Chains A and B, each alone.
Chain A
Amino acid sequence: MSNLEILEKFKPEAHNLLMILHALQDSHPENYLTEDAMESTARYLKMTKSSVYGVANYYTMFSVKPRGKFIIRVCVSPVCELLKINEVIQHLEEELGIKTGETTPCKRFTLETSECLGQCHEAPSMMINQEVFNHLDKPKIKAILEDYRKK
């Protein structure tokens, strides 16, 4: 779907900005908001480009830089910290060969951190795109990544 086709699913009203940015970002294989996407949005909503960019930059779920096909968001909030999320991050970094904040050279995975994902009763937790994973440990992480490498 082109950017314009996505835009036209929403009324051209400023309050739709976040919904539009979500839709545009989700439609991009590299999970980010391109310069072009933001420009078209500004034109469509009759807003300045800087206010669109300002919003895109403010919210942590949006990215203005290319990312991997799969965004891994690891929870670093208190309960996950208590239940050893640091080890989980270490395993992920080793398995993927990247540091937190980076994207694998094959453009498949981006490793990010997140605040509490609301899964605390099954911590430690992470998400990959829309999917939630709980009770993480080394073997589980290996299996999950194995799965996603095939997707």
Chain B
Amino acid sequence: MIKETRITLKNIGKINPESIEDYLEAGGCEGLKRAFTMDPVSIIDELLEAGLRGRGGAGFSTGMKQRFTSESCRQCPQRYVVVNADEGEPGTFKDRLIMEQDPHLYIEGTIIAAYAINATKGYIYLRGEYQESIDKTQKAIESAYARGFLGKNILNSGFDFDLEIKLGAGSYLCGEELTMLESLEGKRGTPRIKPPFPAEKGLFGLPTLVNNVETLATVPPIIFHGKEWYRKFGTERSAGTKIFAISGQVNKPGNYEVEMGVTLRQLINDLAGGMREGKKFKAALLGGAAGTFVDASLLDDRMTYDHLKEKGATLGSGAVIVMAEGDSVFDILHNCLRFFRHESCGKCVPCRVGTSLLERESLKLRNGHPDKKALLQQLVKESQIMANTSLCPLGQSPILPLESAARFFAEELTA
């Protein structure tokens, strides 16, 4: 029987998210105070050696990203921190929990990150639909200013940092970091070409650190307790804990923070209360629409970035959508393909045409086609071409659910 290990979610349900006093009493801002006793370079080293990897989906080393951002363009007049609070990957609802129930924590992490890279201005790009997250975060920012955790000369450290919320307006693509920067500048949410990365040329052309809410909320405990402590959790290459957002056909869907390396079976049985109504497990979609299907053969594999990758699966944002015997893999796959068509910005041809084509042609798997096996192969091939030729990661994503569904559920899809 595994249990939760709450590091990032340690305050959830225990404090009043609208009271900074509660937060401070629960040990809040101790990470920040410790950070101010360190020099910025050693904060970055600490995070690097702790092995923290980005929780927004890509799993890139947090310390490494900070180092790039702090070292690029030394003569630039300004550096920014942008908090990716645009949670839009279908099946993902973990950042919302932090923002609604412990907003001070990720704000504290943001201040530490800003100090580490010497940014004096930050923006939280928050999903426009997340009203409660917006309200709680706004309140937390105001109390942080009132208490001297934000603004000029924070806690007499000599460090200044301002933070404000900017709202998204219903575009999944704006969760992609470079697109987010376009949107933050007041433009349509269409991607920029990479490189340059935000670390070199980000918001308003200046070095910018973009981090996910969960990533930043994990920074204060690491800085407070130290890298050796954090390394005790998880595995060698996927250190620490991760929040998994489990939904679908389980008895207790929700967010569970566990050490990296647990198995899907443990997540479902030990934490999520088992399969709903005792149904039989059929499939899980890991990582959301830009994620991969797995079948029962992966129930006992360790969920880490690298191990899942070896198995052709993804960890992504931590979304786990559980399907039971009787559910249609086709329906969920088609839903993902419809999603990509809907969210494609249309800037480049492979994705604009490709996402429409995949949505339309895949319907023939259900509605009749003389050679479904060939059709399925053709669809996977199209998505491969899109992956090779699309301008941004959105057009490179449909292959993930499509290829994995074809691998595990070809029989059902072509029946």
Using a CB–CB distance below 8 Å, which chain A residues touch chain B? 13-19, 21-22, 45, 51, 54-55, 58-62, 73, 76-79, 81-83, 114-123, 127, 130-132
Contact of B186 among A16, A78, A81 (CB under 8 A): A16
Residue ID in chain B nearest A77 by CB atoms:
B90
CB distance from A80 to the nearest CB of B (A): 9
Residue of A with least CB distance to B334: A81
Contact A61 B186 (CB under 8 A): no
Interface size class of B (residues with CB under 8 A): 35 or more
Q: Do B332 and A15 touch across chains, with their CB atoms under 8 A apart?
A: no
Can you list 6 residue pairs at the A/B interface with Cβ under 8 Å?
A: A14-B186, A17-B186, A59-B189, A82-B248, A115-B172, A115-B343
Q: Nearest Cβ distance between residue B56 and chain A, in whole angstroms? A: 14
Cross-chain contact of A60 among B90, B96, B170, B204 (Cβ < 8 A): B170
- Residue on B nearest A21 in the bound complex, by CB: B169
Bound complex: CA A18 to CA B126 (Å): 12
Residues of A within 8 A of B90 (CB): 77-79, 115-116, 120
Interface string of B121-133 (1 = CB under 8 A from A): 0000001111110
Verify if B167 is at the interface (C-beta below 8 Å from A): yes
Given contacts A55-B187, A121-B254, contact A79 B248 (CB under 8 A): yes
- Asked whether, in the complex, the Cβ of A58 is within 8 Å of the Cβ of B131, the reply is no
Q: Does B118 contact A (CB under 8 A)?
A: no
Residues of A within 8 A of B171 (CB): 58-60
Choose from A59, A62, A118, A121 the contact partner of B253 (Cβ within 8 Å): A121
- Residue among B167, B188, B246, B247 with max Cβ neighbours from chain A (10 Å): B247
- Asked if A116 and B91 sit within 8 Å, CB to CB, the answer is yes
Q: Is the CB of B335 within 8 A of A118?
A: no
**Structural contact, B323 and A120, CB atoms closer than 8 A:** no
Minimal beta-carbon separation of B18 from chain A (angstroms)? 17
B131: chain A residues at CB < 8 Å are 130-132
Q: A17-B186, A78-B332 are in contact. Are A118 and B93 (CB under 8 A)?
A: yes
Q: Shortest CB–CB separation between residue A54 and chain B, in angstroms?
A: 6
Contact across chains for B87 and A118 when beta carbons are under 8 A apart? yes
In the complex the two chains form, is B170's CB within 8 Å of A61's CB?
yes
Q: Are A83 and B248 in contact (CB under 8 A)?
A: yes
Q: Which of A54, A60, A77, A123 contacts B289 (CB 8 A)?
A: A77
CB-nearest residue of chain A to B204: A15
A-B CB proximity, top 8 nearest: A59-B169, A17-B186, A60-B170, A121-B253, A61-B170, A120-B247, A116-B90, A77-B90
The smallest beta-carbon distance between A57 and chain B, in angstroms, is 8
B window 337-372: CB within 8 A of A: 339, 342-343
- Shortest CB-to-CB span from B120 to chain A, Å, is 16
Q: CB distance B128 to A61 under 8 Å?
A: yes
A82–B183 touching, CB < 8 Å: no
Q: Are A19 and B248 in touch, CB under 8 angstroms?
A: no
